[in-house]
Structure 1
Amino acid sequence: MNRQIAILGSSGGNLYNLGGRDPLKLLDEILVQLKSAGLSCGALQFIAAEGSMDTATDRTPAKLYGWSVTQQQPIVVAEGTLEEVNQAAERLDLEIAEQIELAEIDGLIVMSADPEGCNRNAIAAAVKEKIPLTGTGGSSMAVIQSKGANVIAASGTTGTTNRTRAVAFATSLSKHWKLSYRPVIGQAAASTGAGDQAVSASPWRRISIRGIMMASLPGFIGMALILAASKIPGLSALSEVFDLMIKALPVILSVIAAKQISELDEVSIVAGIVAGVLSVEGGIIGGMIGGIGAGLIVHYVFRKCVEWRFPATTVNIVAGGISGLISGLIVYFLIAPVALAAGEGIRALIETLVSWNPAIAGLVAGLLIWPAIIGGVYHAAILPIVLLEMETTSNSFLGAVDMVGLVMVSAGITLANIISPRNKGEAAVAAPGFAINMGFGTFVEAAYPFMFSNRLVFAGAIASAGLGGMLVGLFGVRGTAYVPSFVGPITSNNTTGFLISMAASLLCSFLITVLANRLARYKSSSNTLGM
């Protein structure tokens, strides 16, 4: 049978600003880690006030969470003013103390507890039975230790997060009982969530260039929008902001990489920032490498610090700061020149291929872009190249092909199905897609239902993308997608050329789809008459 753990405490003063204001999320993190260690919650007494305990009064609204044995999750057992909730908590404290004396509780987790008030009976029983206790809250833990409790790990709250506290608690208890425990890192769901979703503890499996690039895309788009705004009369000063944002791109990728790989919330974010700042000279490739390194190192440093029983606050400081420094310094001194050269090499290769015959290069890119996105190649290969191109000028050749070959073609297909659909129901399906295509420069998948149900529409999409790509090459356009259609030309190096290319793709796909729909309707009516 699993060892039973009682969780005691409150939303606290400092804890309130570090996760205590969302008690269910805080408790969920603990429950997930306990389950991974083979431990179970046997009792719960958690007072959640609607404000920091440092400034709370007896009239402050509060809730008391207890443990439901039947539902196996936290439930609200009392609600009212803090004074009323404290009275209910004292009754629950007596029940938990009795559970401890009956050997139904094997260990305690305490957070910002009140060992002289609402938790005095449970703490006294824990001291008497000498059960292991771990927790956070500087002053409360000091009082608990002075009472002679079997404290196996204690820490302040500053610098901790819900996840790092939970991992520290589970590590301390599992090490005390010599249990096998692998921290569950990721968006795990506990008893109050939507089910268990344990993520592999190996950070290596979470390295995804595609995922890092996709998550970082808003930073690149923001840079493109700043460039477009800087071209407006009177806003030329924004060009300095654009130069600053270019330098920030490696930091953005580093933070995203570190967080996705280690998934230790604020700890990994800090590590990613430190590594990113030191990796700026390596461009976005250097920033990504720095972030990946920081994410890997912070994962292992964090675990080791917890195993060595460092206080939780110290664990976060060491894991976040040292990990970022190690990875960042490696990139700064060893990898940055190579990473920068690699990025320049890829950009030079694209420019060389395009310069040989721009129209043919655009045509080939346009013809291949739909098969690429349908086959899953786009986000894995093309998008990283687009971002590398955008790193220096905020627009790219393939970014322009994306806008004319995917977004405008999808807009043309959906517009045709609004104006001249095969049946009335398709107009309602097409309208949201068209609006998103034009308003946000994305959601090209809106065209899929019409492309996959009609070969002529599918062929028309590829042909229209090829036409648009050829015009992009012919006019020497560099641009981007993922922005509103009316902003796209402004962010490009050739506003007129981009407008013509976009209009041509949209009109071509629109006309072919209208023709395909009319043929489909004619064929349907002929079959009906033939019957």
Structure 2
Amino acid sequence: MKKIAIIGSSGGNLYNLGGADPEKLLGEIYAQCESAGFEVSAVQFIAADASMDNARPTTAAGVYTLSEGRGTKAKRTYHGKLADVNGAVKDTDAKIAEDIRNGNIDGLIVMSADPGRANIEVFRAAAETKVPIVGTGGTSMAMIAASGAKVVATSGTTGTTSRTRAVSFVASLAKHWGMKYRPDLGGASAAGSGSGSGSGKSLFKRINIRSIMIPALPGFIAMAIVLAASHIPGLEKLNDIFEILLKGLPVLVAVLAAKQVSELDEVSIVSGIVAGVLSVEGGLIGGIIGGLLAGIFVRYLFELCLNWRFPMTTVNIVAGGISGLAAGLIMHYLLSPLALMAGDYIKLGISATLAYSPILAGLLAGLVIWPAILAGVYHAVILPLVLLEMEKSGFSFLGAVDMVGLVMVAAGINLANIIAPRERSEAAVATPGLLINLGFGTFVESAYPFMFANKVVFISAIIFSGLGGMLLGYFNVMGVAYVPAFVSPFMSNNALKMGIVMAIVMVLTCIATVIANRFKAIVKNQPSPQVTQSIK
């Protein structure tokens, strides 16, 4: 196992690109070292509370070291003025230099180091032993190379992130030693935690429509809010804002898709934006496909550039810019028309079903929606359909079914268990559930305990959800999910009818649950036949 020392500071330009968060910066390096099979055996990292370009002697600063020996995570072992740091790190500097000379350090990762003062002994030892060095920081790395040290890879910090720098450092050392290394792009949450959450999955296995759609939901809600507000007299001009937001939705999902696949933070975000802008004509599906292509290209180009030993700044430019452009051009000239056609056919299928029999369509949607969420397929199947509907008009029939069939049914069950619970303790459980149902239009899972404990409640939930869907179909009501219940009617195409359907379903579910609770309580308190016989 190769042993690594991390040397440096939060730097000038580096401070604005990750150096201001030393724990995350060091944690990313630890995650990549673990993935490569390296051991971080020493750390001397000076973290100032301001960029070194603007720092003063009185600026607060800390020093991160391995105070408890090797194999532990880096901790802040000193905190004081920047002017006093050089004295505070003198012993650590000498100790790491001794380890280098004794062969206990095989390589150095350097970031904005100070080879003339704070790290003088380390780099003297490195020049003597010729241990390989990788790092960033133009001035410091030039001084280190001039001293005769063995610099195998160097780069600037512009355009880089803590994760891409860490990957570059470890990839360069692994290549120098002829070792296999697969980047851990799951990241790390704390300095030296030694446990990145890297998924270890292939690019295609990381593709998950559910985890693209759910984070995108706030954007669709924002669009629906603007559309609802545009119907208020005097605010008609907001319809122009709605049109702009509508065009931005493909960009939104493209960014999320690219980030999900590549897991390269800002690099993948930039790539997703470029691809998304060029995928706008493909609609929502076009944005997703463009983002996925961008994410795949980002990873491929990123690793290719690392293998070619490009400077890290160039790696990010190529991976983020070229990959997004390539994916976007493929979408714009080839796939966007097909993606738009697919989205239109899906929306046409929903519209045709509603046109054929809106009552039947509503009934089926209402009956299916609870089993779908219980089976875990709601967010993978129904939510994408909701968002596709909203992409066209800002409203969704399935979104209205969600609000009525899930949220209002759950609210009715929770209300019943506040008014007439089987046991007093259940009221305390139901109260926060009801408040979240009505106040935020979510947390339908709060009804699960009552549904699973009583088959009558479970069956009535599905029945009244189906009834709500029928009424929505009959009145031709479309709406939005995941909004407060009192706002939902005003974000539908018919506020009065939406409000009536919501109230009917909630009240009927509440009544059915109260009756079920009372019946079960009577049965529970009824003496058994044996007890009755003995009394006689």
TM-score (norm. length: structure 1): 0.97
Pairwise CA distance, 1:373: 1.0
> Helix, strand or coil: the match of 2:89?
helix
**Contact 1:467–1:504 (CA<8 Å) still a contact in 2?**
no
> Helix, strand or coil: the match of 1:182?
coil
Please name the residue that 1:170 is paired with.
170
Paired with 2:59 and 2:27, the residues of 1 have a C-alpha distance of: 24
**Contact 2:73–2:193 (CA<8 Å) still a contact in 1?**
no
Does 395-404 or 521-530 show the bigger shift?
A: 521-530
Pairwise CA distance, 1:190: 6.4
Pairwise CA distance, 1:362: 0.6
Amino acid at match of 1:343: G
Please name the residue that 1:233 is paired with.
233
**Contact 2:27–2:194 (CA<8 Å) still a contact in 1?**
no
Please name the residue that 1:457 is paired with.
457
For residues 28-107 of structure 1, the aligned pairs below 5 Å read 28-67=27-66, 68-69=68-69, 72-107=72-107
Q: Does 2:338 match 1:345?
A: no
**Contact 2:359–2:471 (CA<8 Å) still a contact in 1?**
yes
Paired with 2:469 and 2:230, the residues of 1 have a C-alpha distance of: 27
Pairwise CA distance, 1:70: 5.7
Paired with 2:524 and 2:380, the residues of 1 have a C-alpha distance of: 41
**Alignment deviations for residues 406-433 of structure 1 (CA, whole Å, 9 cap, x no partner):** 0110111111111111111111111111
Pairwise CA distance, 1:105: 0.6
For residues 277-288 of structure 1, the aligned pairs below 5 Å read 277-288=277-288
Please name the residue that 1:116 is paired with.
116
For residues 392-403 of structure 1, the aligned pairs below 5 Å read 392-403=392-403
**Contact 1:97–1:125 (CA<8 Å) still a contact in 2?**
yes
Cα pair distance change 1:162/1:230, threshold 3 Å: same
Q: Which runs of 5+ in 2 are unaligned?
A: none
> Helix, strand or coil: the match of 2:398?
helix
**Alignment deviations for residues 360-416 of structure 1 (CA, whole Å, 9 cap, x no partner):** 111111111111111122111111111110001111111111110001101111111
> Helix, strand or coil: the match of 1:109?
strand
Paired with 2:200 and 2:317, the residues of 1 have a C-alpha distance of: 24
**Contact 2:40–2:70 (CA<8 Å) still a contact in 1?**
no
**Alignment deviations for residues 177-196 of structure 1 (CA, whole Å, 9 cap, x no partner):** 01111000114456754955
Please name the residue that 1:18 is paired with.
17
Pairwise CA distance, 1:528: 8.5
Please name the residue that 2:376 is paired with.
376
Paired with 1:476 and 1:372, the residues of 2 have a C-alpha distance of: 23
Does 478-487 or 245-254 show the bigger shift?
A: 478-487
Amino acid at match of 2:515: L
Cα pair distance change 1:450/1:270, threshold 3 Å: same
**Contact 2:42–2:70 (CA<8 Å) still a contact in 1?**
no
**Contact 1:174–1:181 (CA<8 Å) still a contact in 2?**
yes
Please name the residue that 1:471 is paired with.
471
Pairwise CA distance, 1:237: 1.9
Q: How many residues align?
A: 530
Cα pair distance change 1:201/1:351, threshold 3 Å: closer
Does 164-173 or 491-500 show the bigger shift?
A: 491-500
Amino acid at match of 1:80: G
**Contact 1:72–1:191 (CA<8 Å) still a contact in 2?**
no
Please name the residue that 2:140 is paired with.
140
Does 344-353 or 194-203 show the bigger shift?
A: 194-203
Please name the residue that 1:4 is paired with.
3
Instruction: Give the superposed CA RMSD.
Output: 1.5
TM-score (norm. length: structure 2): 0.97
**Alignment deviations for residues 297-332 of structure 1 (CA, whole Å, 9 cap, x no partner):** 101110111111111111111100000001010000
Cα pair distance change 1:196/1:339, threshold 3 Å: closer
**Alignment deviations for residues 54-108 of structure 1 (CA, whole Å, 9 cap, x no partner):** 1111111111011132661102221111122221123211111111111111100
**Contact 1:185–1:201 (CA<8 Å) still a contact in 2?**
no
Paired with 1:149 and 1:373, the residues of 2 have a C-alpha distance of: 61
> Helix, strand or coil: the match of 1:76?
strand
Q: Which runs of 5+ in 1 are unaligned?
A: none
**Contact 1:138–1:155 (CA<8 Å) still a contact in 2?**
yes
Cα pair distance change 1:91/1:448, threshold 3 Å: same
Does 131-140 or 229-238 show the bigger shift?
A: 229-238
Moved >6 Å (runs of 4+): none
For residues 194-209 of structure 1, the aligned pairs below 5 Å read 195-200=195-200, 202-209=202-209
Cα pair distance change 1:192/1:101, threshold 3 Å: closer
> Percent of pairs identical after alignment?
57
Pairwise CA distance, 1:201: 5.1
**Contact 1:12–1:112 (CA<8 Å) still a contact in 2?**
yes
> Helix, strand or coil: the match of 1:452?
helix
Amino acid at match of 2:183: P
> Helix, strand or coil: the match of 1:73?
coil
> Helix, strand or coil: the match of 1:8?
strand
